[in-house]
Structure 1
């Protein structure tokens, strides 16, 4: 009798974990659909739900950062980018977005540092680094003017 109870308990726990995983994934997938439809408020809610079920979901944090960028909420944008980079320091898109943020702040030394690190792992967005460095050269104060 005890074995049957343990088996039933195991079944319900497994079913609960499986349904949580499915829910978390469906929140992210539905959030991407809403994001692509430019329904940012709805997608933000879905990505936030996704990270409740999976706090290590770097993709949801990245989309949240993009939404906050669209909303011009710099604090939340950077907070979510930092979370992505905490979870995956080699996330190319998050690194690129952080370089853009630092460039807008005129934080030249930070942009150079980020660009050097970016070169070590970039795969898809390597050309973006060149654009950032060109922008940096155009904005950097000139000596001897």
Structure 2
């Protein structure tokens, strides 16, 4: 009887884990579809649901940041980009987006620091660093000596 109860508990645990993973993945997939259709409110809700099931899902935080950019909420955009980088320090999209925010703020030192990091992690968006460095020329402090 003990073996039977243990088997049932193990089976229930496995089924719960499978269902949990499926729900997390399903919310993310649904959210991406909504995001691509520009249904940002529904996408935001679904990305948040995905995070409930997997709090370490860097991609959900990245897409939330993109949604907040569309809604012109810089504070939430930046918060979600920072969370993305906390979970995935080599996320080049999040790093690039933070660099753009820093350029808008004319924060030379932060852009420079992020640019140096970006060069080390970039794979697909490396050409974007040239655009950033060009923008840096306008921000660079002038040496008046």
Scaled to the shorter chain, the TM-score interval is: over 0.9
Deviates more, 1:58-67 or 1:115-124: 115-124
Structure 1 residue 32 corresponds to structure 2 residue 37:
no
SS of the residue 2:38 aligns to: coil
For 2:17 and 2:59, locate their aligned partners in 1 and report how far apart those are by CA, in whole Å. Answer: 21
Q: 2:132 aligns to what?
A: 132
2:45 matched residue in structure 1: 45
Between the aligned partners of 2:118 and 2:141, the Cα distance in structure 1 is: 23
TM-score (normalised: structure 1):
0.95
User: Could you list the runs of 5+ residues in structure 2 that have no partner in the other structure?
Assistant: none
- Provide structure 1 residue ranges, at least 5 long, that are not aligned to the other structure: none
Residue 74 (structure 2) pairs with residue 74 (structure 1): yes
Q: Deviation per CA, 1:29-64, whole angstroms, max 9, x where unpaired?
A: 000000000000000000000000000100100000
TM-superposed deviation, 1:83: 0.6
- Between the two proteins, the alignment pairs up a number of residues equal to 144
- Runs of 4+ aligned structure 1 residues displaced above 4 Å come to 141-144
Look up the match of 1:110: 110
Q: Alignment partner of 2:5: what SS?
A: helix
1:84 aligned residue = 84
- Return the alpha-carbon distance in structure 2 between the equivalents of residues 66 and 120 of structure 1: 23
Q: Equivalent residue for 2:4?
A: 4
Q: TM-score, normalised by structure 2?
A: 0.95
Task: State the shift of 1:88 in Å.
Answer: 1.0
Task: Give distance in 2, aligned partners of 1:90 and 1:70.
Answer: 24
CA apart distance, 1:143? 4.7
